[in-house]
Amino acid sequence: MPFTPDSELDLLFPAEHIPDETKKQLPSDLHLRPLASTDYKRGHLSVLSVLTVVTDPGEGAWVTQFNAIRAASRTYYSIVIVDKPSDRIVAVGTVFIERKFLRGLGSVGHIEDIAVDKSQQGKKLGLRIIQALTGITFYQKCGFERKENEMTRYAPDRSRSPRL
């Protein structure tokens, strides 16, 4: 299957939202873009199966879900990395925007479902997906303003454990 350029695809959101810097860090045989309505055929669910057992709902139900996600405007941003020679998806990831009542009715992004095909693991594709989803320009192009910057990773700190 020949590589399909973005201009010929029905994308979840405009490809311009993805930072060029991240795209340039990929090998020339890989392409980073938004999820497309025809990505069921490119193995989207197969890549997600590295995370958990995936029940295949069939192409029609997959497309219905794609359209429902797209209808939730400015909420879901799923991206994929495509292997150009095969036009198959080799990595995926999503950020969804939660609208809050806190922080002046602010919004927060949650990164979910980062997955890389087993044949492509070890090539930093998951890192590239995360970089694209966390790029400040990504959020600005999606209509958000920079207010605060917060990233957190909690891990147990054995040196701080309470003494009994």
Q: Could you give the C-alpha distances from 37 to 12, 29, 54, 79, 143, in angstroms and in order?
A: 7, 22, 19, 12, 23
Residue 15 falls inside a structural domain: yes
Residue 112 falls inside a structural domain: yes
CATH code where residue 14 lies:
3.40.630.30
Q: Hey, what are 21's tokens?
A: 């810097």
Predicted pLDDT at 137: 60
Residue 132 falls inside a structural domain: yes
Q: What domain range is 114 assigned to?
A: 6-142
Residue 155 falls inside a structural domain: no
Residue 137 falls inside a structural domain: yes
Residue 47 falls inside a structural domain: yes
> Please, what sign has the CA dihedral across residues 7, 11, 13, 18?
negative
* β-bridge pairing 76-83 and 30-34: antiparallel
Total domains in the fold of the chain: 1
pLDDT tens-place values along the chain, 164 residues long: 789 999 999 999 999 999 898 899 999 999 999 999 999 999 999 999 999 999 999 999 999 999 999 999 889 999 999 999 999 999 999 999 998 898 788 888 889 999 999 999 999 999 999 999 987 666 666 666 655 555 555 555 544 444 44
* β-bridge pairing 107-116 and 76-83: unpaired
Predicted pLDDT at 2: 86
Residue 121 falls inside a structural domain: yes
